[in-house]
């Protein structure tokens, strides 16, 4: 079979510069993109040289360009998840700063009065004058505040985009109806304030371009589009909010849980055997034939704004009479082996379990042997075929 040709593409140098402005180091970009390849069942991490070529505008496999595009888009929409979770601390400030960039980058960005050598030494953990340290901390705090302002703006527009998309799916915890039902009905925001907020969110989402944030100089990432149609858009958003409000937020899911029964209940079940495996390897042998008791309980899923059910395997038994606590493997329950199933399909086009393979092979063998028992010229061949046929039919019956 001829080797499949890979389609190539180039990643724009301007986009590469935007990625570098937010990530500072190429290795960070490589590591973030390779996470996706590491988690792909049918692929693997790519070497640094391939990513380096792409970031330098060279032609590479289009999968690498697509990964860089995806990273850039996600960092525009959700920059917060790529930054430290907490702001700059008073103790261990250098270690916090190292998560983002090197000492020369920080000195250039902060523009503090410390010399390069003194700052480098402090960044490495050695002492620096107290006044200089206070100056650095104040500069980092100011930089972080400006960065968080930019991040808030990007996430604000992204939130509105997401709620607009979710609204097309009917009732949803993350659409405009739910968001403003909570604001107006549950929290008491005034109609006018809520409408102003709705209009502003939509204007930021659909009448502004979002740019990547430059960590060296954090600024508002939202750029207004041409203003010719702004007033028309604003009036459309006003009418949209008024209709939603008058209809009573029909696609909203309340954030406050209703009254519901949280009393747990228990169900006794029994695991099957190899015939119930769902992938090419028997990965549940420890569970074959075991009885197990499952605890079910209703709870409020605040993220999805709905009543959900939890289930937990709380006991197992060999005979359904004497029970014990499950070990870690038993508590996980039956594993469908999805990864192994997909890998089997990818490697040889066969995701069948061992049981299914044996059954299919026996059926084919029985069909062949039945033919041989009737069509072989020699009596001894027919007799041998009959013996094998009997054994195959017996084995198939056992499996069934």
Tell whether 20 is covered by a domain.
yes
Q: Are residues 186 and 142 in the same domain?
A: yes
| Higher local confidence (pLDDT), 364 or 138 | 138
Tell whether 260 is covered by a domain.
no
pLDDT of residue 130: 92
| Higher local confidence (pLDDT), 101 or 348 | 101
Q: Are residues 25 and 128 in the same domain?
A: no
Tell whether 2 is covered by a domain.
no
Q: Please identify, among 50, 77, 104, the residue that sits at the C-terminal boundary of a domain.
A: 77
Q: Are residues 240 and 385 in the same domain?
A: no
Q: Are residues 130 and 241 in the same domain?
A: yes
Mean predicted confidence (pLDDT) in 159-173 = 89
State the CB neighbour count (10 A cutoff) for residue 38: 11
Tell whether 13 is covered by a domain.
yes
Q: Are residues 205 and 304 in the same domain?
A: no
Number of domains into which the chain is organized: 4
Mean predicted confidence (pLDDT) in 281-285 = 87
The 8-class DSSP code of residue 303 comes to T
Between the alpha carbon of residue 244 and those of residues 146, 177, 180, 253, 305, the distances in Å are 35, 7, 9, 14, 19
Q: Please identify, among 24, 43, 77, the residue that sits at the C-terminal boundary of a domain.
A: 77
Q: Are residues 131 and 232 in the same domain?
A: yes
Q: Please identify, among 77, 101, 121, the residue that sits at the C-terminal boundary of a domain.
A: 77
Tell whether 341 is covered by a domain.
no
Residues 276 and 284: their CA atoms lie apart, in Å, by 9
Q: Are 215 and 147 in contact (CB under 8 A)?
A: yes
Confidence bin at 393 (pLDDT 50/70/90): confident
Tell whether 138 is covered by a domain.
yes
**345 pLDDT exceeds 70?**
no
Q: Are 257 and 330 in contact (CB under 8 A)?
A: no
Q: Looking at 36-50, 65-79, 189-203, 320-334, which range is the least confident one?
A: 36-50
* Residue 34: alpha-carbon gap to chain centroid: 14
Per-residue pLDDT of 216-240, as tens digits, reads: 999 999 999 888 889 999 999 999 9
Mean predicted confidence (pLDDT) in 300-325 = 95
Q: Looking at 61-65, 123-127, 243-247, 362-366, which range is the least confident one?
A: 362-366
Whether the CA torsion 332, 333, 338, 340 is positive or negative: it is positive
pLDDT of residue 22: 97
**1 pLDDT exceeds 50?**
no
Tell whether 344 is covered by a domain.
no
Question: pTM for the full model?
Answer: 0.76
Percent of the chain at pLDDT > 70 equals 92
Q: Are residues 242 and 98 in the same domain?
A: yes
**255 pLDDT exceeds 70?**
yes
How long is the chain? Answer: 400
Q: Are residues 163 and 290 in the same domain?
A: no
- E strand segments, 255-371: 265-270, 291-301, 306-317
For residue 199, the enclosing domain spans 93-218+226-246
Q: Are residues 327 and 383 in the same domain?
A: no
Q: Are residues 73 and 111 in the same domain?
A: no
| Higher local confidence (pLDDT), 2 or 22 | 22
Q: Are 20 and 214 in contact (CB under 8 A)?
A: no
**354 pLDDT exceeds 90?**
no
Per-residue pLDDT of 84-99, as tens digits, reads: 999 999 999 999 999 9
Residues 196 and 18: their CA atoms lie apart, in Å, by 33
pLDDT of residue 2: 39
Q: Are residues 97 and 240 in the same domain?
A: yes
Confidence bin at 267 (pLDDT 50/70/90): very high
Residues 244 and 116: their CA atoms lie apart, in Å, by 58
Tell whether 251 is covered by a domain.
no
**356 pLDDT exceeds 90?**
no
- The closest alpha carbon to 218, from 143, 108, 110, 138, belongs to 143
**340 pLDDT exceeds 70?**
no
Q: What is the mean pLDDT of the chain?
A: 89
Q: Are residues 384 and 310 in the same domain?
A: no
């Amino acid at each position: 079979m001829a080797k499949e040709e890979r389609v190539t593409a180039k990643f724009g140098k301007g986009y590469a510069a935007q990625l570098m402005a937010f990530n500072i180091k190429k290795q960070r970009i490589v590591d973030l993109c390779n996470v996706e390849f590491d988690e792909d069942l049918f692929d693997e991490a790519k070497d640094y040289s391939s990513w380096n070529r792409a970031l330098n505008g060279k032609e590479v496999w289009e999968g690498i360009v697509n990964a860089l595009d995806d990273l850039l888009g996600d960092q525009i929409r959700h920059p917060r998840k790529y930054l430290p979770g907490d702001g700059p601390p008073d103790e261990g400030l250098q270690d916090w700063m190292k998560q983002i960039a090197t000492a020369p980058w920080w000195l250039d960005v902060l523009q503090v009065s410390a010399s390069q050598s003194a700052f480098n030494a402090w960044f490495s953990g050695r002492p620096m004058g107290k006044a200089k340290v206070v100056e650095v901390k104040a500069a980092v705090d100011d930089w972080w505040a400006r960065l968080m302002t930019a991040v808030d703006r990007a996430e604000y527009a992204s939130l509105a985009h997401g709620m607009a998309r979710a609204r097309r799916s009917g009732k949803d915890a993350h659409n405009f109806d739910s968001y403003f039902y909570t604001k107006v009905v549950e929290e008491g925001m005034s109609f006018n304030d809520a409408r102003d907020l709705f209009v502003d969110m939509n204007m930021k989402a659909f009448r502004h371009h979002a740019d990547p944030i430059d960590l060296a100089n954090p600024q508002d990432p939202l750029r207004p589009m041409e203003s010719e149609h702004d007033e028309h858009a604003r009036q459309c958003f006003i009418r949209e909010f008024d209709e939603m409000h008058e209809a009573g937020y029909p696609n909203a899911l309340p954030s406050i849980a209703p009254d519901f029964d949280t009393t747990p209940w228990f169900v006794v079940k029994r695991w099957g055997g190899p015939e119930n495996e769902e992938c090419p390897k028997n990965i549940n042998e420890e569970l074959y034939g075991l009885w197990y008791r499952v605890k079910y309980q209703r709870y409020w899923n605040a993220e999805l704004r709905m009543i959900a059910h939890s289930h937990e395997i709380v006991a197992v038994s060999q005979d359904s009479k004497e029970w014990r606590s499950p070990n870690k493997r038993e508590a996980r329950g039956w594993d469908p082996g999805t990864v192994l199933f997909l890998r089997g399909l990818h490697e040889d086009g066969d995701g069948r379990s061992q049981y299914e393979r044996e059954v299919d092979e026996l059926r084919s063998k029985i069909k062949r042997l039945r033919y041989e028992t009737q069509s072989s010229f020699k009596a001894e061949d027919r007799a041998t075929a009959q013996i094998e046929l009997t054994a195959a039919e017996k084995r198939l019956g056992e499996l069934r």
